[in-house]
Amino acid sequence: MRYKLEQVSFGDPANQAIFLLPGWAMPKECFYELAHKLSQQYYVVLVNLPGISTDVELIKGAKTGPNYDIDALTEQLILAAPKDAWWLGWSLGGMIASYVAAHRASCVKGLITIASNPSFVRSEGWQWGMSLGDFEAFEDLIKHDPVVGLKRFIALQSKGSRAATEVRKQLSHWVEPDACLPLALEAGLHLLKNLDVRRELEILDMPSLHLLGEKDVLVDSNWPKAIINNCVPIEYKVFENCAHQPFIEDLDQLYPHIENFLNAQ
């Protein structure tokens, strides 16, 4: 039996659908302000990644473990998503959405990513990721002390933001360590370390928009320049004063770019 995904929807189901995927360890509640704004024109469905919640009792009562194999996760998310939806993913959610868009194109109308890197970890020929040593040190911290690890991650996400203290408070309010299955945290990091969707973006045959924060210390905002010549036309925008969550830091600046992109298709 599959781990049941938590989801919630906003707006009129008769409207064009948008499917929102959060990042590693981040619950769907992080997206609520963006979702409510989108729901004025669109039907918006938000889902939690497996094993991540704000509901401690729900997590304690889970009968099955989460599966972060990318192909199994793809199938599970497709079942949760509205038909013919735009997929919008933040960070790891954007990487997953990119994979699904390339491999199951008939299920995805178009792609939007926010603060997402095609390959999160630096490698030969890819200088725009986190060093493997730093990533594995964080993996070890999550394995041995997830509470401290999540606090560290929230600090990194908010670093560079003009409103770092406020962003950190908001993220801390949403992230409940006891509502995150340890297996989900570890398996999610394993996927984040190993998933590489550069090739997927190069073969993508649908509209895509990538929104990035210049002050983001987790995702280098220069990565689109490295692959744009190998891709069908992609659009990207870098927000000068934002870090890893521009939809929280400056929604008024970010939202028109999403709206204009969708209306142009």
Question: What does the pLDDT look like over 79-114, one tens digit per residue?
Answer: 999 999 999 999 999 999 999 999 999 999 999 999
What is the identity of the amino acid at 212?
Answer: L
Strand segments (E) across the chain:
7-10, 17-21, 43-47, 85-90, 108-114, 208-213, 235-239
Question: What is the per-residue pLDDT for 24?
Answer: 99
pLDDT of residue 168: 97
Q: What is the DSSP letter of 90?
A: E
Distances from the Cα of 111 to the Cα of 187, 217, 223, angstroms: 24, 23, 17
77: Cβ contacts below 8 Å, ≥ 6 apart: 5, 19, 21, 47, 96, 100
Distances (CA, A) of 7 to 47, 50, 61, 125, 226: 4, 11, 17, 38, 35
In a domain, 1, yes or no: no
Percent of the chain surpassing pLDDT 90: 92
Q: Is residue 181 part of a domain?
A: yes
Highest mean pLDDT among 23-37, 59-73, 224-238: 23-37
Helices (H), 195-241: 198-203, 223-227
CA atoms within 13 A on the CB side of 102: 19
Number of domains, the chain: 1
Q: Which residues pair with 108 in a beta bridge?
A: 85
What type of residue sits at position 201?
Answer: L
pLDDT band at 230; cut points 50, 70, 90: confident
Tally Cβ neighbours within 10 Å of residue 7: 14
> Is there a domain that residue 208 lies in?
yes
Q: Is residue 2 part of a domain?
A: no
Q: Is 221 exposed, middle or buried, given 0-12, 13-18 or 19+ CB atoms closer than 10 A? A: buried
The CATH number linked to 199 is 3.40.50.1820
Tell me if 67 sits within 8 A of 58, measured CB to CB: no
What are the pLDDT digits (tens) for 183-200?
A: 999 999 999 999 999 999
Is residue 262 predicted with pLDDT exceeding 60?
A: yes
**What's the whole-number mean pLDDT along residues 40-69?**
93
The pLDDT-based confidence of 1 (bands split at 50, 70, 90) is low
pLDDT at 150 over 90: yes
SS3 category, 87: strand
The pLDDT tens digits of the residues spanning 9-23 come to: 999 999 999 999 999
Arithmetic mean of pLDDT over the chain: 96
| Domain that residue 16 falls in | 7-264
Q: Give the residue-averaged pLDDT of 34-52.
A: 98
DSSP H/E element including 167: helix 164-174
Q: Would you say residue 225 lies in a domain?
A: yes
Using alpha carbons only, what angle is made at residue 259 by residues 99 and 37, rounded to the nearest 5 degrees? 95
Give the residue with greater pLDDT, 45 vs 2: 45
